[in-house]
Chain A
Amino acid sequence: DAGVTQSPTHLIKTRGQQVTLRCSPKSGHDTVSWYQQALGQGPQFIFQYYEEEERQRGNFPDRFSGHQFPNYSSELNVNALLLGDSALYLCASTHRSGSGRFGEQFFGPGTRLTVL
């Protein structure tokens, strides 16, 4: 089992550009969440996808958008990049049972985004 995988590992962009980050959930998982971890800070929840829809969103502007595909993988898109978007972006996956309960969340290694 490969666990949660993310690509790319590192990325350098300039202000104003757009970026797409990718996440493949752990086998058997159907729910993906994205987090932003600024240097020296704890992860901040961006949003969660389940059944290809955004189900919950944190306090992030509309420049942050996402998508979930039928195979449960997910993308995080950030438009009009700002210097402050430089961070480690973490993807986490879990499985939602038939009763609606979620299992343990597993995190990927993250994508380090640097905006110059």
Chain B
Amino acid sequence: GDSVTQMEGPVTLSEEAFLTINCTYTATGYPSLFWYVQYPGEGLQLLLKATKADDKGSNKGFEATYRKETTSFHLEKGSVQVSDSAVYFCALHSGGYQKVTFGTGTKLQVIP
């Protein structure tokens, strides 16, 4: 079945540092890939997405490229801010209905 593996957290970075959160997936067919963010006490928000190979999703300075050859969708940001502190989930959707498969999440803490 479908599965998503993302790097263990927590990740602690200083403000303005470079961020990479690794994500790899296993899926049948050609899934759509997502990064969701969950701020403390809140629900999930879609951060970015990519629907086909080589697509790059981007939003709020975050980027991720759909790499079919390595089945990866790593999240990057060039300069993190304290306000980026949250839990980040890599996820995929395949098939006709809307079941989304999530990774276990990576907690990011950015310190001033």
Contacts and interface: CB of A to CB of B under 8 A. Distances in A.
Interface of A: 4, 31, 33, 35, 40-45, 48, 50, 55-56, 58, 90, 92, 94, 100, 102, 104-110
Interface of B is mostly: strand
Nearest to B46: A104
Given A42-B4, A48-B97, 5 more contacts: A45-B99, A48-B99, A56-B99, A92-B100, A104-B49
19 contacts: A31-B98, A33-B98, A33-B99, A41-B105, A42-B104, A43-B100, A43-B102, A45-B101, A48-B98, A48-B99, A56-B98, A92-B98, A94-B98, A102-B97, A102-B98, A105-B98, A105-B100, A106-B46, A109-B42
B43 interface: yes
Interface of B: 4, 36, 42-46, 49, 89, 91, 96-105
Given A42-B89, A107-B43, A58 B102 contact: no
Nearest to B104: A42
Q: Which 3 pairs show the lowest CB-CB distances between chains A and B?
A: A42-B102, A107-B44, A109-B43
A109 to B, nearest CB: 4
Contacts of B104: 40-42
